[in-house]
Amino acid sequence: MWFKLVGVRLGNGNKDYPDGDEVQTVEPWSPPKTWEGLSSEMLNAALNDIDAGMPNGQRYSCASSGWSYYNYNSRYGTAGKSKRSTS
């Protein structure tokens, strides 16, 4: 089972300390499914682009200067849709 930290305000503010205190606790958390929100068409388009390589003919790898998850993330419309945030 996974957990994530969450802040809980105690509601004990006063004139001198209006925000009061906040303590951390945990609540259950489940990671998203790996391909959640991605269609087969989007996944296949990304794989086709990777297979084609970069415009200069170089192949993609994690060490390539052209490699960027964020390039694919924004190109295929998945930017900002990740639920993997721990906030």
Q: Would you say 30 and 51 are in contact if contact means Cβ atoms under 8 Å apart? A: no
Closest CA to 24 of 67, 74, 82, 86: 86
pTM above 0.85, yes or no: no
10-residue stretch averages of pLDDT, the chain, 87 residues long: 95 95 96 86 86 80 58 59 44
Answer whether 37's CB lies under 8 Å from 81's CB: yes
Indicate the Cα dihedral angle 54, 56, 58, 64, nearest 10°.
-70
Please tell me whether residue 76 adopts helix, strand or coil conformation: coil
